[in-house]
Structure 1
Amino acid sequence: MLEHFFAKTIRWYLIITGFLTFTVLSVAFWPIQTLSGQYGYSPEMLQGFEYWKVIYQHWGIMVAGVGLQLLISIKHKELRLMAMAFSGLEKACFVYFFVTHVWGEQQEWFWGWKMIFFHDSLVTLYSMVFLMYWLTRDKTKVAAHLA
C-alpha cells in the first residue's frame, strides 16, 4: 500500500516541496522586503534587524539549498533518500521550534509564518510516513521512490 502511494506521489512531492522550499531564497537577497511583505513583519518587529540580518540571510540560503536538493533529486533518483531524510529533519525541526515558541507573550510573528508552519508540518508528516515505508519495505523489490 505505501509502496503504491510513494510510487504515485514522490515526483509531485519533490516538485512542489522543492519549489516552495527553494522560494525562501528571497530572504537571503531581500530580507527586509520578504519579511515585511511575505511574512507580515511590522516596522516595530524589524527594529534592531541589522543585528539579525545575516542570520535570516543564512537561513534563506540553507533552506533554499534543501529545496534545490529536492528539485535535483527529481532527475537523480539516487539522491532521493538523502534529500527526503535531510528535508524531513529540517522541516521537523522548524515545526518543533515553532510549536515550542508560539505560546510566548508576543505572538504577532506567528501569523506571518503560519503558511511555512503548515507546509513544513505536511512535509514532516509525509517524511515520517516515508521513513516508516523505507524501514518496513520489501527489500527484494526496487524501492518505490526509485521507480
Structure 2
Amino acid sequence: MLETFFSKTIKWYLIITGFLTFTVLTVAFWPKQTLTGQYGYTDNMLQGFEYWQVIYQHWGIMVAGVGLQLLLSIKYKELRLMAMAFSGFEKACFVYFFITHIWIDKQEWFWGWKMIFFHDSFVTLYSLLFVVYWLTRDKSKPSAHLA
C-alpha cells in the first residue's frame, strides 16, 4: 500500500514541497519586506530588527538549501532518502517550536507563520509516513521512492 502511494506521489511531493521551501530564500535577501508582506509583521514588531536581521537571513539561506536539495532529488534519485530525512527533521523541529512557543507570552507575531506551520506539518506527516515505508518496505523490490 505505501509502496503504491509513494510511487505515485513522491515526484509531485518533491516538486511542490521543494519549490515552496526554496521560496524562503526571499527572507535572506529581502528580510524586512518578506516579514512585513508575507508574515504580517508590523513596524512595532520590527523594533530592534538590526539586531536579529542576520538570524532571519541565515534561516532563509538554510531553509532554501533544504528546498534546493528536495528539488535536486527529483533528478538525482540517490539524494531522495537524505532529502526526505533532512527535510522531515527540519520541518518537524519547526512544528515543535511553533506548538511549544505560540502560547507563551501572547506572541501574536508568531501567527504570521501559520502558513509555514501548515506546510511544515504536512511535510512532517508525509516524511513520517515515508520513514514507516522505508523501514517496512520489501527490500527485495526496487524502492518506490526511486521510481
TM-score over 0.5 for the alignment? yes
RMSD of equivalent CA atoms: 0.6
Amino acid at match of 2:136: T
Partner of residue 49, structure 1: 49
- Separation (CA, whole Å) in 2 of partners of 1:23 and 1:145: 24
Matched, 1:117 2:117: yes
Post-superposition CA distance 1:73-93 (Å, at most 9, x none): 000001000000000000000
Deviation of the 1:109 alpha carbon:
1.2
Structure 1 residue 105 displacement after superposition: 2.0
Aligned to 1:68: 68
TM-score of the aligned structures, taking structure 2 as reference length: 0.99
Matched residues, number: 147
The DSSP-based 3-state class of the residue aligned with 1:115 is: helix
Distance 1:108 1:90 in 2: 23
Q: Quick one: which amino acid aligns to residue 48 of structure 2?
A: G
1:108 CA drift (Å): 1.4
**Superposed structure 1 runs of 4+ greater than 4 Å apart:** none
Q: Where do 5+ consecutive residues of structure 1 fail to align?
A: none
Percent identity over paired residues: 82
The one-letter code matched in structure 2 to 1:30 is: W
1:104 matched to 2:94? The reply is no
